[in-house]
Homo-oligomer: A and B are copies of this chain.
Amino acid sequence: MPIVVDKERKRAEILEAAMTVFARKGFHRSKMEEVAVEAGIGKGTIYEYFESKHQLLQSLHGYMLAKLKEYYAEKLHGIEEPPRIIGGFLAAALASFREWEPFFYVFCDVWAEAGRAEQQSLLRMQLRDAYKSSIDDLVLVVEAGVAGGFFHCDHPRLAAEHILACVDGLALHWLYDQEAFDLDEMTEALTRAVMRSLE
């Protein structure tokens, strides 16, 4: 066997580099050369790991979604009571804006990119699946809350969609006007509003 390289590790390094560069300059303005420099490798090497610039974005998107999912799992680990789960979710979500800021810039690119892609393009399906799975998770929590007598809610799916939309909308607003935003204050207010809508 020839040289043994930790392919998986290097792949992740390239993704982290792409993350940094794409977040800073935007997908279309970023050059593969810049990603390579950021990763400390040659441009050609990126093509050993990814087929094309677009495919790099797709992979990066999958990578980010996985990271984010992991983050939520960690933050919500061990919480059992539905209202606490919802509260924890909202707190984790708003906290993630700060903690994973670059992600959200890249998400903007993905949104813009996916919108024009074929319905069954990978990027678009990743987006839809992630959204659906978040909704499903939330629906389960809301239903559990209803069953446990914590909530009243006729349409858990609509409630879930409403909650998720708030979070995504806030992410967008926060991104473009961080100064106008107190995340902690907002977390509290949002939690109160959501709880009241589920009263």
Q: Residues of A with Cβ closer than 8 Å to B?
A: 24-29, 105, 108-109, 111-116, 124, 127-128, 131-132, 155, 158-159, 161-162, 164-170, 172-173, 175-177, 180-181, 185-186, 189-190, 192-194, 196-197, 199
Contacts and interface: CB of A to CB of B under 8 A. Distances in A.
A184 to B, nearest CB: 11
Which of A112, A162, A186 has its CB near the most chain B CB atoms (within 10 A)?
A112
Contact of A115 (B105, B166, B193): B105
Contacts of A180: 128, 132
B193 A162 contact: yes
A176 B112 contact: no
Main secondary structure of the interface of A (DSSP, over half): helix
Contact of A189 (B24, B113, B162, B194): B162
- Copies of this chain present in the complex amount to 2
A25 B158 contact: no
A150 to B, nearest CB: 16
Contacts of A27: 112
B197 A115 contact: no
Given A111-B112, A169-B170, 14 more contacts: A25-B116, A29-B116, A108-B112, A111-B175, A115-B176, A127-B176, A131-B177, A155-B185, A159-B193, A162-B193, A168-B168, A168-B172, A172-B172, A196-B197
A114 B105 CA distance: 10
A26 B193 contact: no
B189 A111 contact: no
Contacts of A158: 185-186, 189-190
Contacts of A176: 111, 114-115, 124, 127-128, 131
16 contacts: A111-B111, A112-B112, A114-B176, A131-B173, A131-B177, A132-B180, A155-B189, A158-B185, A158-B186, A161-B170, A162-B190, A165-B168, A167-B169, A168-B172, A168-B173, A196-B197
A26 B110 CA distance: 12
